[in-house]
Structure 1
């Protein structure tokens, strides 16, 4: 059984508006039999933190195009994207690069 994982989640560039304007969340993911990965984290965020308009944050199993994801200050594309296995104390940042006009 994998131990619970404490994470710092940050939302910026307008993405925080989907989370009641809260830019930073300290969360603890519960224990589960498999290690947590980014794909499972996105589902957890959608169920537990996302307050409105999920279509502006997720698309299918992943984040919507136009949302930059950083894991410990590195682009998640370098970390394996959805397959990345979360570690205790990871810092995950979601920045929207889409701006309405």
Structure 2
């Protein structure tokens, strides 16, 4: 299954400063929970605690799937679809 991942608002710093990733996931069914674990294991290079808290994203990271808030789609239980675009936006900024 091919999907696109985007990291914005500073979240791209956690993934080698590469904002867009095209990903080919093995298998017929993937949930957002599985995707977050995959991102942690395959894309996050350091300090995964800045992206994840427990099994979900940290507070302050907005997740959009095809421009819709993932909270409307079931969050961790959402079943990813072919060609989905998942966008992670950090809304926290240091000062």
Answer yes or no: is 1:30 the counterpart of 2:30: no
TM-align CA RMSD? 0.7
- How far the C-alpha of 1:31 sits from its partner, in A, is 1.4
What's the CA shift string for 1:21-49, capped at 9, x where partnerless?
000000001115xx210000000000011
Length-normalised TM-score, structure 2: 0.98
Q: What does residue 78 of structure 2 align with?
A: 84
Structure 2, gaps ≥5 residues long: none
Match of 1:48 among 42, 48, 60: 42
Length-normalised TM-score, structure 1: 0.92
**SS of the residue 2:23 aligns to:** strand
Q: What does residue 64 of structure 2 align with?
A: 70
Post-superposition, which runs of at least 4 consecutive aligned residues in structure 1 deviate over 4 A?
none
Q: What does residue 91 of structure 2 align with?
A: 97
Larger Rg: 1
What's the CA shift string for 1:64-83, capped at 9, x where partnerless?
00000000000000010000
**SS of the residue 1:27 aligns to:** strand
Structure 1, gaps ≥5 residues long: none
- How far the C-alpha of 1:11 sits from its partner, in A, is 0.1
How many residues align structurally?
Answer: 95
